[in-house]
């Protein structure tokens, strides 16, 4: 029972639990000793063990209506080396990236019983805990519009057992993110729910043209290895990339090679801005004039590196910015392009890719026709 203010207090100290006086009986003293013994600190491994037990207990609860149950997935051999976030996007088909990152931040996603960051590279045999997600509800909220799905399906220019390639329209992001609900990869996953599609590379949102997605992990890893090779594709391996662009002004005849390092910086508000800077990464582009119209230059560009905004910044660097480029171009020139030839977008198109898989035994030559709005703009140039 509670004691008076003059009576001694037992552990815990004043203010944390009601004050009590010791029970003078033998049983009461034994209970007090046992209570005090239980106040010892728990070690970190013991904490983790208890936490896993609590998580397992939650996992055994019956899922509520509309929710999937907790899944413990062993990473297969062909997914070894994949980032955790991309692995989860493949498992939670239809779930937006924002939800997947929220699950990881909250600790609901576990690898071998412990928390893990999005960029963690998984190893074969590791166990990933995928929490229950109401995918039906998520799907209702985030499904791409039917018209957009149809448009993206019509954009497919090549498909086989390993790859799916689209002619990405300008204005469509390669993947969803902040403020972008439906990127190209999310939309294609919605169209092909039974396939494990992964982006091989990215294109700027305003750039149209070839965007490659892998259906198999083996194709993804081989293509990403080829992308890392720093050469033009004439040697063994590599990816040969060809773009079409309209540059402001008259470029000189022949091939102009621009070897200028590029540095990615951030402007106020978090916007990326790239500039030529000696502290940047090596970057090499080759510009070749195909045709001149209206005092401007229609060019082919081959790049040996794949830096952010590389063609656009190199074009600006040589004094011939890409037509319609609101970030690196000339506002006055862009205004004339809009008024005279109806150009309302960036004139940059990823036209062709050449590479070989299976160690060079399976060659691929992919092409994407110039977007209709760019072809029309060229027709208007005199």
Active site residues: 204
- Name which of 111, 126, 148, 131 is nearest 61 in CA terms: 131
Buried/exposed code over 255-286 (b: 16+ C-beta within 10 A; e: otherwise): ebebebbbbeeeeeeeeeebbeeeebeebbbb
Of 134, 135, 130, 119, give the one whose Cα is nearest residue 190.
135
Helix (H, G, I), strand (E, B) or coil at 175: coil
Helices 146-154 & 184-191 angle (0-180, nearest 10) = 90
User: What is the C-alpha to C-alpha distance for residues 121 and 124, in angstroms, rounded to an integer?
Assistant: 10
**How far is CA 218 from each of CA 92, 215, 222, 224, 336, rounded to the nearest angstrom?**
21, 9, 6, 10, 48
Q: Alpha-carbon distance 358 to 118, whole Å? A: 30
What is the bridge-based pairing of β-strands 163-168 and 208-214? Answer: antiparallel
In this structure, the number of other CB atoms found within 10 A of the CB of residue 348 comes to 27
- Alpha carbons 298 and 379: distance in angstroms, whole number: 12
- Does an H or E element contain 299, and which? strand 296-303
Q: Omega into 280 within 30° of 0, i.e. cis?
A: no
Q: Are 243 and 204 in contact (CB under 8 A)?
A: no
| Helix residue spans in the chain (DSSP H) | 26-37, 44-60, 84-91, 97-105, 135-142, 146-154, 184-191, 217-228, 310-317, 331-341, 372-380
Please tell me the distance from the alpha carbon of residue 216 to that of residue 235, in angstroms, as a whole number: 25
């Amino acid at each position: 029972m509670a004691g008076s203010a003059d009576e001694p207090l037992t552990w815990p100290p004043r203010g944390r639990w009601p004050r009590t006086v010791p029970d003078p009986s033998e049983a009461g003293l034994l209970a007090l000793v046992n209570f005090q013994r239980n106040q010892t600190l728990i070690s970190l491994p013991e904490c983790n063990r208890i936490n896993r037990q609590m998580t397992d207990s939650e996992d055994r609860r019956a899922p509520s209506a509309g929710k999937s149950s907790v899944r413990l997935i062993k990473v297969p051999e062909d997914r070894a080396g994949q980032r955790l976030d991309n692995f989860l996007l493949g498992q939670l088909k239809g779930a937006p990236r924002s939800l997947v990152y929220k699950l990881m931040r909250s600790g609901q996603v576990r690898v071998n019983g412990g928390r893990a960051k999005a960029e963690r590279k998984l190893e074969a045999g590791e166990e990933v805990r995928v929490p229950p997600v109401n995918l039906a509800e998520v799907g209702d909220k985030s499904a791409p519009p039917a018209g957009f799905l149809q448009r993206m399906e019509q954009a497919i220019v090549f498909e086989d057992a390993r790859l799916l390639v689209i002619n990405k329209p300008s204005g469509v992001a390669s993947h969803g993110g902040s403020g972008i609900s439906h990127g190209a990869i999310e939309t294609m996953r919605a169209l092909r729910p039974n396939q494990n599609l992964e982006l091989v590379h990215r294109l700027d949102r305003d750039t149209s043209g070839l965007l490659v997605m892998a259906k198999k992990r083996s194709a993804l890893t081989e293509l990403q290895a080829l992308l890392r090779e720093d050469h033009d594709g004439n040697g063994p391996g590599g990816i040969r990339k060809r773009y079409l662009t309209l540059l402001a002004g008259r470029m000189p005849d022949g091939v102009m090679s621009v070897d200028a390092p590029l540095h990615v910086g951030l402007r106020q508000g978090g916007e990326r801005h790239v500039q030529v800077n000696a502290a940047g990464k090596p970057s090499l582009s080759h510009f070749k004039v195909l045709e001149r119209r209206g005092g401007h230059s229609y060019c082919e560009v081959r790049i040996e590196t794949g830096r952010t905004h590389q063609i656009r910044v190199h074009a600006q660097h040589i004094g011939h910015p890409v037509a319609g480029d609101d970030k690196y171009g000339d506002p006055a020139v862009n205004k004339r392009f809009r008024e005279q030839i109806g150009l309302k977008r960036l004139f940059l198109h990823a036209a062709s890719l050449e590479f070989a898989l299976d160690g060079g035994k399976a060659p691929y030559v992919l092409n994407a026709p110039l977007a209709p709005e760019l072809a029309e703009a060229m027709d208007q140039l005199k």
